[in-house]
Amino acid sequence: MGKRVGMEVAIAAAEAVALCNIDVAAVYPITPQSHIAEHMADIVHDGRIDAEFITVESEHSAISACAGASAAGARAYTATSSQGLMLMHEILPIVSAMRLPVCMANANRAVSGPLNIWNDHSDIMPQRDSGWICLFTENGQEVIDLSIMSFKIAEDPEVMLPCVVNIDGFQLTHMIEPFELPSQAEVAKFLPPRKPFAQLHPDNPISMGCFAMPDTYAETVKAKDVALRGAKKVVTRVFADWAKRFGRKYNVVETYKAKDADTLMLTMGSMGETASAAVDEMRKAGRKVGLVKLRLWRPFPVEEFKAAVAGCKTLIVMDRALSTGGAGGPVATDVKSVLYGEKKKPRVLNVIAGLGGRDLAVRDFENMFDLASKKKDETFEFYGVRE
Amino acid sequence: MAKKKTEQKAWPEKWHEVNPGCMVFAAGNAANTKTGSWKSQRPVWDNAKCIKCGICYIFCPEACIQDTQDGFYEANLDYCKGCGICAHECWPGAIVMREEEE
C-alpha cells in the first residue's frame, strides 16, 4: 500500500502526476494553479523524473506544446485555471479532434470581470463542449487518484481523448490534507507506458489535424462524439480497476443517503463534502434528503444519472456557475434536457450559489434547500445575493 | 474506435470510416490535388523581355513556376491558380495574364 502523507493538495497533484512517468509538462502559472506549476518545475529540475518542463509564454502556448508533444507520442501534462483556460479555449477542441490524450488539471476559478481569483465553475463551463473528458474532484485524495487515472482513461485505445481533472481553486488546491500517495511501483503496474495509435515520425510521415470540406466535416464531428460517449465505459472500467488495486471506489455518479430520499440535492466538486454534512443535519431533523454528485461531467453519464434520481420527487441542482442570459446554471439546464423525455421525472429546481469564492457552509445548504422548496416554478434562484 | 490502419478507407463515406483524429496516413499526396482548374487567367511569358531575374519564381505563392533549361521561367498550369502575382511583380513586363478562353 502507499504511504500516508500530509501535504497541500496542489503539491500532491504534481506529485501524483510525477508518478505517472510523464514525458512533457508545459505549464504556465496562474492563481490558484501556480503551486502545481511550481512544484512540477521543481520535480523536473531535481531530476526526479525524466521529463521536459517547457516554460511557455502563455496558456495558449502551453496547450499547443502539449498537443505537439502528444502527437509525437509523448505523455503530456498541463495545468491551468480561469482566464488561462479561456486562453486555451481555441486549442482545446483541436486536441480532442486530433484524439491526443493530453491530461490537464484545472484549478476552478471565477472568470473575469470583475477580476476574481476565487473558486467557482464558470471557467470550465464554457469549455464543456470542447470534447474533453471532464472529471470533478471533491477532496485531496480524489485529486491524486483521478489525476493518475486520467492518464489511463485518456490513453485507452478505445478513448484517445484528452482529459481534464477539475480541482476547486483554494477550496481544494490550497488545503493541507492527509492522504495516501501510491508508490511508484504500484502506479507503474497500473499505468503502463503510453502506446500511441499513431505518432509523428519522419520515417513514417502522417498528417494530423487536416482540412475537412463540408462533405466530410459532419462525419468527423459524429465520430468524435461517439468516441467521447464511449469513454464512459472506459472510465467505469478504470474506476473498477483502481478500486481493486487501491481499495478506493469511485463511480461516475455518486449518491449519498439517496435511496429513500424524497428530495435530492445535486452538486459537483468540493461542494459535495459540505452538502453531505448538510444532508446528515437535515436527516437528524427528520427530513428525507439525499445527495447526488456528478463526478463525470463529460461525457454526461445519462443512464447512471437517471437511475440515481429515479425515486425522488424533487431535485435541487446547486450550480456554481451561471449561463448568463440563459435558462439557469449549466448543470441544471443539462439535467433538465436529460430528463425531458422521461415519463416520471422529478421537479428540477436550480440554485446558483458560491460564485467567486463565496463560502458555502452546512447552514447555507439547509437555507438553499428551504429556498428551493418554496419555489413554485422550475426557474432558477440566486442564493445569498443581497437585495 | 481505433481500427488498424490497413482497414481504413482512403476517403471516409460514413462517420465510422473516419480515421481516429481524422489522421491521414498517406502523407505526401498534396500533389494529387490539381488546383489549376480554378484559374480564369494564365500567365504568358515574353522571353524577349525576360531578364531571367527570377522574381516571378520567388513570388509565386503556389510554387508552380519553375526555371527551364535555358534559364527562362514557365508555370506548371496544373497548379497555377491564375492569381497574377507573377505578372504584377515582373518589372520588365515580360509576363501578361491572358484569359483562359483566348
Tens-place pLDDT, residues A232-286: 999 999 999 999 999 999 999 999 999 999 999 999 999 999 999 999 999 999 9
| Helices A140-155 and A214-246, packing angle to 10 deg | 130
pLDDT for B11 equals 67
Amino acid at A89: H
> Are A160 and B28 within 8 A, CB to CB?
no
Interface with A, mutate which of B23, B32, B35 (most A CBs under 10 A): B23
DSSP-based three-state secondary structure for B37: helix
Q: Where are the beta strands (DSSP E) in A146-188?
A: 163-168, 176-181
**Whole-number percent of chain A with pLDDT over 90:** 92
d(CA A312, CA B6): 51
Query: For the residues A153-164, what does the mean pLDDT come to?
Result: 96
Q: Which chain B residue is nearest to residue A208, measuring alpha carbons?
A: B23
Exposed/middle/buried for A361, CB within 10 Å: 0-12, 13-18, 19+?
exposed
Contact B53, B59 (CB under 8 A): no
Pick from A98, A222, A226: CB nearest B21 = A98
Backbone torsion region of residue B68, taken as left when φ is above 0, otherwise alpha when ψ lies between -120 and 50, otherwise beta: beta
Written as nine digits, the cell of B32 is: 494529387
Give the angle A195-A196-A198 at the CA atoms, nearest 5°. 145
Tell me if residue A317 falls in helix, strand or coil: strand
Note whether A233 contacts B: Cβ–Cβ < 8 A: no
* A-B Cβ pairs (cutoff 8 Å, strict): 66
Arithmetic mean of pLDDT over chain A? 95
Buried b (16+ CB within 10 A) or exposed e, B48-82: eebeeeebbbeebebebbeeeeeeebbbeeebbbb
Question: Does A293 have pLDDT greater than 80?
Answer: yes
Q: Is A51 exposed, middle or buried (0-12, 13-18, 19+ CB in 10 A)?
A: buried
Lowest mean pLDDT among A49-58, A136-145, B17-26: B17-26
Tell me whether residues A219 and B18 touch, CB distance under 8 A: yes
Q: How many CB atoms lie within 10 A of CB A370?
A: 10
Q: Which residues of B touch A234 (CB under 8 A)?
A: none
Q: Residues 6 or more apart from B33 whose CB is under 8 A from it?
A: none
**In angstroms, rounded to a whole number, what is the distance separating the alpha carbons of residues B13 and A149?**
35
Q: Does the CB of A161 have a partner CB in chain B at under 8 Å?
A: no
Average pLDDT estimate for A178-190: 95
* In the predicted structure, residue A73 carries a pLDDT above the cut 90: yes
Minimal Cα–Cα distance from A3 to chain B, Å? 37
Contact assignment for B20 to A197 by CB distance below 8 Å: yes
C-alpha A247: how far from chain center: 21
B15 in contact with A, Cβ within 8 Å: yes
CA distance B17 to chain A (A): 9
Tens-level pLDDT at each residue, chain B (102 residues): 454 555 555 567 888 888 888 888 887 777 888 888 889 999 999 999 999 999 999 999 999 999 999 999 999 999 999 999 999 999 999 999 999 886
User: If you count them, how many residues does chain A have?
Assistant: 387
Task: Give the CA distances from residue A196 to residues A15, A103, A158, A241, A279, in Å, rounded to whole numbers and listed in that order.
Answer: 24, 14, 12, 21, 45
| Mean pLDDT, residues A155-177 taken together | 96
Alpha-carbon distance of A91 to A96, in angstroms, equals 9
In which element (H, E) is residue A369 found? helix A362-373
Hey, is the C-beta of A216 within 8 angstroms of any chain B C-beta?
yes
Give the pLDDT of residue B10.
Answer: 59
Confidence of residue A348 (pLDDT cuts 50, 70, 90): very high
B13 Cα to chain A: minimum distance (Å): 8
Contacting residues of B for A210, CB less than 8 Å apart: 22-24
Of B29, B28, B10, B30, nearest in space to B19 by CA? B10
Judge whether B66 and B39 are in contact, CB under 8 Å: no
- Determine the average pLDDT of the residues in A329-357: 95
Can you give the pLDDT at residue B1?
45
Pairing outcome for strands A263-267 and A176-181: unpaired
At B9 the pLDDT is 57
Angle at A199 (CA atoms; ends A196, A201), nearest 5 degrees = 145
A219 contacts B28? CB cut-off 8 A:
no
